[in-house]
Amino acid sequence: MGIPQGLSPVFRTGSSGVGRAVMASAAANLCPVTLELGGKAPAVVAPDFPLATAAERILWAKCMNAGQVCVNVDYLFLPEASTDVFVAHAKRLVAERYPDLNGPDYTTIIDQPAFDRLVATLADAQARGATVINLAPDQQLDARRRKFAPHIVLGVSDEMTIMKEEIFGPILPVKPYREADEVIAYVNAHDRPLAFYPFTNDKRLAERYITEVLSGSVGVNEAIVQVGQHDLPFGGVGASGMGHYHGYEGFLTFSKLRPVFRQARISSIQAVLQPPYGKLAKFALDWMFRLRG
């Protein structure tokens, strides 16, 4: 991969592995890079937030484009005692919104390798002891059209593929938790996510999550929607990318800010700041420092 020296920034959307290759080539040519690399975006539902509302919003996001959205909820933290209720809400919502997953309201997985990868991801989780819950158990999906049902996965561990790689599909792993400290510690111990979604009506708790969890963008009480706000900068951090675009920040990213200084006919530098230095030079320097504030 060759990148000519001195061009405007290279922009790349893709996996972290490809992003590293692009950055290595750009480094050899001293070319600035903006990377949007996806990752595992977590959501957390706080005990104060209505579980039914959380399920409505998270399932809407997780089923959008069959989960194939780079900032989609990749895994979910739920208060310990609420998992069964959340699963019941999820089953009801899928049945109400998608009575026929083979129909036009629910899309297909983009290609056969992606479909096979999702099947293998579920099989790996199940083989390692996870509980896999099909949210549309009564429907027969058309595998030839790569229709893949939404699933919730319980009892996940970091050894599973589902918790190591970006899912990019309608599969939602759930991790129970007791305290916000657990959520913050877990997310910060892993690669920085492209997005983070705290669901809480407690403003102090929301601010704590925003402050203590480092991510690309944040959506409080909603998922995905922040990307559609084109006056907000969008971009990742660390393994989820670097740089920003959208709106004004996008203009800056894809522009080279080139400063130009023009000297007047009479140069104050030549008149005042030439050696030997005396009182006039000191006065001029003191005056410039005062102007800087």
**Which residues are tagged catalytic?**
36, 70
Strands 73-79, 131-134: pairing kind: unpaired
Q: Which residue reads 């969890």 in tokens? A: 213
Phi-psi region of 36 (alpha: psi -120 to 50; beta: other; left: phi over 0): beta
Cβ count within 10 A of residue 20: 13
Tell me which H or E stretch contains 93: helix 83-97
Whole-Å CA distances, 164 to 74, 119, 139, 194: 11, 16, 29, 15
Residue 173: strand, helix, or coil: strand
Are 234 and 246 in contact by the 8 Å Cβ rule? The answer is: yes
Strands (E), the chain: 10-13, 33-36, 41-45, 73-79, 131-134, 151-154, 171-177, 195-199, 217-218, 241-242
